Chain A
Amino acid sequence: MLQDITMGLYIPGDSIAHRLDPRVKIILAVCYVIALICASDILSYGLAALTLAGAVTAAKIKPSMLLRGMRGFIVMIAFTAVLCAFMTPGASWVQWGWLSLSKEGIYKGAQVLLSFILFIAGTSWLTFTTSPLQLMEGMSKLLYPLRYIKVSPQEVALIMSISMRFVPIMAEESYRILNAQKARGAYIDSGNITQRVQAMVSLLAPLFIRAWQRSETLSTAMLCRCYQSGAERTGLRKMFMKRADYTALALMSAVLLIIIALPDYY
């Protein structure tokens, strides 16, 4: 199981969303999150939901897939929504001791739930339509201004690609070490807490040292092949902005401006 590590939640496809530039998709996701934070009334949330519906249609993915990321947080958010419903001051409908359910409370609880659902679904859209490699390339291009604070974006991109490349190798290594330590009586998944911690240390120490040895070998190999840190590097794939990218950016900017300006008009 460990050696079959799945990288990313990318769903391969050939839709408008899949063909968008990854830099544009990252910017769209950031704008969407800002729009959700600025949304404060039913019209704003409706517009954000409409934007999400358009993005899901453009990506040709099932809406149910977008809500997969909610599983870890659903209890916490449901707890918060119920607390909001009972503890928001307003005209009381139902009273249980010091807890009172009001119309304002129900509205607030629904708002909490809706914000969360839209947030998770919208941000999942980005990872479903963009492969990890495209995300890395897009992010490394967007990090170009870092060179003004003496951080090399090429080095950042290289670190990301090296780490991605070695994840399956280290996963296989950890599987082997796990089995080797199990053969020596160290079980991570059984025993009391002390035994589990000791078993975990018996996995982590060799894993860490192996990672270190790999990094030494790889850096020596890179230097032997005349790698120069910080030098300008070219890439096989060039990213170009197309009409669809500009259209998507214009639409998202319009949505964001409307959501920000909406409360001022009524």
Chain B
Amino acid sequence: MGHGDVHGRLLERKGNVIMINVRKPDAFSTDDPYQRTRKMVFIAMLVGLSMVLSYLERLLPLSFTIPGIKLGLANLVILAGMYLLTFRQALALVLLKCFMTAWVFGSFSAFLYSVTGSFLSFCLMSVLLYGSRFKINIIIVSIIGALGHNFGQIMVAAVVIKSTKIFYYAPVLALAGVITGMIIGFCVRSFLFYVSEYKEKTWNLK
């Protein structure tokens, strides 16, 4: 760290501040073919991981069974990706994850719902992460992202059925969004510390 213009995002845990350098100028430079290939393959693995987690959550029995609601484990990869990748790379991850997950395990309709919700969620989280001067708690970011995701999906449903009455279901989705956002935020905050240690060892390339 400390190579030229370094921009990092902070994650705090029990008073210890850990700097995560996510915009190191050398990392994933598009001029270097090695870095470019590493970037591409890493994003591909994250997309595959999100597909596996999307399938995994169908197999997990959950205690809350509000119709139309699920935990959204695949979005965990998106949230982690936003802390580990740049804006463009994270955007590519979001779009490809929506496409692959929906079209392999769902349908074109699932793709429309997923891409709108994910894109809105990504925009809101980007504003908090990239556009804010203050460090925002990852759980707050996750909750905002979850609410944006649900709102995006309900917007698509309103356009398809041409009725705004579906927004009466919004409070239920908002409550579910807060709960699932908190769970995903806790999970990502916990495992990101283990991942960041691995990242610092492997991404400091000469």
Contact = CB atoms under 8 A, between A and B. Distances in A.
Contact of A208 (B162, B165, B195, B202): B195
Interface residues of B, number: 60
Nearest to B95: A156
A167 interface: yes
Contacts of A204: 76, 187, 191
Contacts of B63: 193
Nearest to A112: B161
Chain A at the B interface: SS class? helix
Contact of A73 (B68, B190, B202): B68
A246 interface: no
Interface string A153-175: 00110111011111100110010
Given A9-B107, A170-B49, A170-B52, A160 B100 contact: yes
A241 interface: no
Majority secondary structure, B binding face:
helix
Given A163-B44, A205-B191, A111 B162 contact: yes
A215 B159 CA distance: 39
Contact of B33 (A9, A115, A124, A228): A228
Given A189-B60, A208-B80, A222-B41, A76 B190 contact: no
Interface in A143-201: 155-156, 158-160, 162-167, 170-171, 174, 188-189, 193, 197-198, 200-201
A207 interface: yes
A29 B46 CA distance: 28
Interface in B48-103: 48-49, 51-52, 55-56, 59-61, 63, 67-68, 76, 80, 92, 96, 99-100, 103
Contacts of A260: none
Contacts of B76: 204
A223 interface: yes
Contacts, number: 202
Given A119-B109, A120-B109, A132-B104, A72 B195 contact: no
A115 B158 CA distance: 11
A193 B51 CA distance: 24
A156 B96 contact: yes
A116 B168 CA distance: 17
Given A77-B161, A171-B52, A209-B198, A166 B68 contact: no
Given A126-B108, A139-B99, 20 more contacts: A5-B52, A72-B67, A74-B67, A76-B68, A79-B168, A80-B165, A119-B109, A120-B109, A124-B109, A126-B107, A135-B103, A158-B40, A158-B44, A159-B43, A162-B44, A163-B100, A165-B48, A171-B55, A201-B191, A209-B194
Q: Which 10 A-B pairs have the closest CB atoms?
A: A75-B67, A123-B108, A162-B44, A163-B48, A205-B191, A163-B47, A123-B109, A215-B45, A219-B41, A159-B44
